Amino acid sequence: MWAEELATTGRAVAEVPRPQMRWMRSAAVGLASGAVGVAAMTAAEKVEQRLTGRPDSYVPARTLQRLTASPQAAGRSRAVNLGMHVGQAVLLGAVRGVMAGAGLRGPWASLLFFAVRLTNDQTLENATGVGAPPWTWPRDELAVDLAHKAVYAAVTGAVADALADRWGPGPGQVHARLRPVRTHDVGPL
């Protein structure tokens, strides 16, 4: 199947990476994409804060402080807060990179990743007792959080997709091209 796809893209068989290399390369692309995504999200947050007067949230720092059993002072540290905010977003970017490498690209994939980002935050914040379920939040706080996470997911996805496109279609895209409509009789590659 790869040979058919390679014939249509003009890539030589030698250019197809081993599966382990594909995943590592995709994860690395995702880390870089997550870094770009968190930069965009942080910029959007700063613009929103200037317009609304909303103060910085120290939920990331308090979450990390509880996860690591650090001293209470760490929960108000700007450096710890930024470290958790950026670190979490960069690491999660690896998931989006692997998605793009597998062929899950475009707005639908970014929407799926948006849910991953929200789930990650809420799981850590609720497990540590720092946060509460989003449906209990004031609507304006929820809207702001969702908007910022949407910026992150969209930018991270766009970068991951653009970088993954340089290496051709992912296995899922090749599989989908075998039959345009999903059917039970088309097996994996």
| Chain segment 82-133, per-residue pLDDT in tens | 999 999 999 999 999 999 998 899 999 999 999 999 999 999 999 999 999 9
Higher pLDDT, 85 or 9: 85
Q: Which domain holds residue 86?
A: 20-178
- Torsions phi, psi for 183 (to 5 deg): -135, 160
Does residue 36 belong to any structural domain of this protein?
Answer: yes
What is the spatial distance between Cα 64 and Cα 148, in angstroms, rounded to a whole number?
A: 20
Phi-psi region of 10 (alpha: psi -120 to 50; beta: other; left: phi over 0): left
Does residue 3 belong to any structural domain of this protein?
Answer: no
Higher pLDDT, 76 or 57: 57
Does residue 92 belong to any structural domain of this protein?
Answer: yes
Does residue 12 belong to any structural domain of this protein?
Answer: no
Domain total for the chain? Answer: 1
Does residue 78 belong to any structural domain of this protein?
Answer: yes
Does residue 15 belong to any structural domain of this protein?
Answer: no
Does residue 93 belong to any structural domain of this protein?
Answer: yes
pLDDT at 21: 77
Does residue 184 belong to any structural domain of this protein?
Answer: no
pLDDT at 7 exceeding the cut of 60: no
pTM, two decimal places: 0.82
